[in-house]
Structures are given as C-alpha cells and as structure tokens.
Amino acid sequence: KNEVEQSPQNLTAQEGEFITINCSYSVGISALHWLQQHPGGGIVSLFMLSSGKKKHGRLIATINIQEKHSSLHITASHPRDSAVYICGADGLTFGKGTHLIIQP
Amino acid sequence: DGGITQSPKYLFRKEGQNVTLSCEQNLNHDAMYWYRQDPGQGLRLIYYSQIVNDFQKGDIAEGYSVSREKKESFPLTVTSAQKNPTAFYLCASSIGAYNEQFFGPGTRLTVL
C-alpha cells in the first residue's frame, strides 16, 4: 500500500510570497496528481505528472521519480489561492492535504 | 455541458438505514471512483471501477457496496454495517485508470 505524506499540513503566507508544498510517496507510481479543494468542498484537478515539470499560470509542479517526491509551487501568491492542496499517488491514495491561507 | 453530478448535496438518514448516493457522468469516461473525506483524514478510496460491470475495493470498502451496470452511473450504497457513515462523499471519473480525475460536487451524509 502506498503511503503518501504531505508537508506542511498548514501554511499561512502573505500575498506575493512564493509557496512550496511537498509530497512524498513510498511505492513507485504511474502518475502523481495534485488537486485543489476550496471551502465548500469542490475539488479541481491541477496537475497529473509522471516525470519532470508542468506549469499552468502561476502554478508549477515537479516530480522526482527516483526520490519519490513531488512539489507544488505557487508564484506571486494571491488570496484566491487559499485552499486545501492534495497530492495523490495514481489517483488512488492521497495525502491529508495542505491547508494554505494567503493573507492580503 | 459535460460533467459529473452527485445528488443530493445533503442527505440525512436514521441509524440502521441503508442509503444510496448517486453519481452520474456524461464525459464518456471508463473509470469512476468513490472517496470518503473526513476532517483531517484527506481523501480515502472506497471503491473504483475501470470498466462497466467491474469494480475493485479501495482502502475502506467495508460497509459499502457499489454497482456499475452503465458506463454513466456508479451508485454507492452505504449500508447499516458501516460503523461511522457520517462524512463527505466524493465521486470522480477519468478517461481511463490513472488519468486526470474530474470530481463531482460531493454529498454530505449525516446519519442521526
């Protein structure tokens, strides 16, 4: 069974700061998923990656297959980025999420 | 509009009653998933189906049952055997196994 760990569990930052959320997993996977969950519960898929790096707007996701580690970065953070960010191994086993608050 | 729907948004049931949660998608996706979310626990997989008439247990399948008779539909029944059924239930679908998942809005079940 894959064990997925995220850090930090909670993160509060000021608007404009560079944000990094980390995810590690214990067993090799086909793809690592990053999700965003807003208050109210709705979940949106941000990235699915199996190697290297992907970028979408101010969001960047990287993965190191050998290290079994992925990071999600947010550049020029904004209060609307406040949400819970969740990583998942193959979309089947997920971490507990990182609760991000961006203060104006 | 293509998407994935869950109904109802809020559901209340008495202890000991079975209840079925609906999940429908018109994205022509082969794979569908059910997750449970509790505060501080993240998403936990209950069941998933990669194709019609086939499904696999996830990490917390005890007390739940599913069916996949149609590609578009993957209903979840929470049985009276589930010890602590009050939770937020999310359904998702993907074009195939391990592909990007699209999530429904969720059903918040409260058992009184």
pLDDT in tens, chain A (104 residues): 889 999 999 999 999 999 999 999 999 999 999 999 998 889 999 999 999 999 999 999 999 999 999 999 999 999 999 999 999 999 899 999 999 999 99
Does the distance separating the beta carbons of A41 and B90 come in below 8 Å? yes
Angle CA B44–B62–B29, to nearest 5: 55
Asked if residue B82 has pLDDT above 80, the reply is yes
Residues whose CB falls within 8 Å of the CB of residue B48, separated by 6 or more in sequence, listed in order: A92, B31, B32, B33, B34, B55, B56, B58
Distance, CA of B31 to CA of A4 (rounded, Å)? 22
Instruction: Give the gap in angstroms from C-alpha A72 to the nearest C-alpha of chain B.
Output: 16
Distance of CA A41 to the CA centre of its chain: 16
- Res B45 pLDDT > 80: yes
Q: What are phi and psi of A79, to 5 degrees?
A: -50, -30
Report the pLDDT averaged over residues B42-65: 95
How far is Cα A80 from Cα A77, in angstroms, rounded to an integer? Answer: 8
Which residues does A32 contact at the CB level (< 8 Å), separation at least 6?
A23, A25, A47, A48, A49, A50, A61, A63, A70, A87, A88, A89
Q: Flag if B103 and A91 touch (Cβ within 8 Å).
A: no
Cα dist from A5 to A29, B40, B43, B50, whole Å? 14, 13, 13, 26
> Do the Cβ atoms of A94 and B43 come within 8 Å?
yes
What does pLDDT average to over chain B?
94
At residue B66, does pLDDT exceed 90? yes
Q: Is pLDDT of B1 > 70?
A: no
Cα nearest neighbour of B98 on chain A? A90
Phi, psi angles (nearest 5°) of residue B37: -130, 125
> What average pLDDT does range B49-63 have in this prediction?
95
* Interface touch A94/B42, C-beta < 8 Å: yes
How far the first Cα of chain B sits from its last, in Å, is 36
- Choose, out of A25, A92, A93, A96, the residue to mutate when testing the contact with B (most B CBs < 10 Å): A92
Cα B47 from Cα A47, distance rounded (Å): 23
In 3D space, the residue among B78, B72, B35, B33 whose CA is nearest the CA of residue B52 turns out to be B72
Q: CA B10, B74, B90: angle at the middle one, nearest 5?
A: 40
Confidence label for B71 from pLDDT (cuts 50, 70 and 90): very high
Predicted confidence band of residue B98 (pLDDT cuts 50, 70, 90): confident
Quickly state the pLDDT bin for B112 (edges 50, 70, 90).
Answer: confident
Give the residue from B9, B101, B107 with the most A CB atoms within 10 Å of its CB, the best one to mutate: B101
What residues of chain A lie within 8 A of the CB of B105, using their CB? 41-42
pLDDT score recorded for residue A29: 92
The total number of residues shown for chain A amounts to 104
The partner residue sitting opposite A43, judged by closest CB among B59, B90, B94, is B90
Chains A–B, number of C-beta pairs less than 8 Å apart: 53
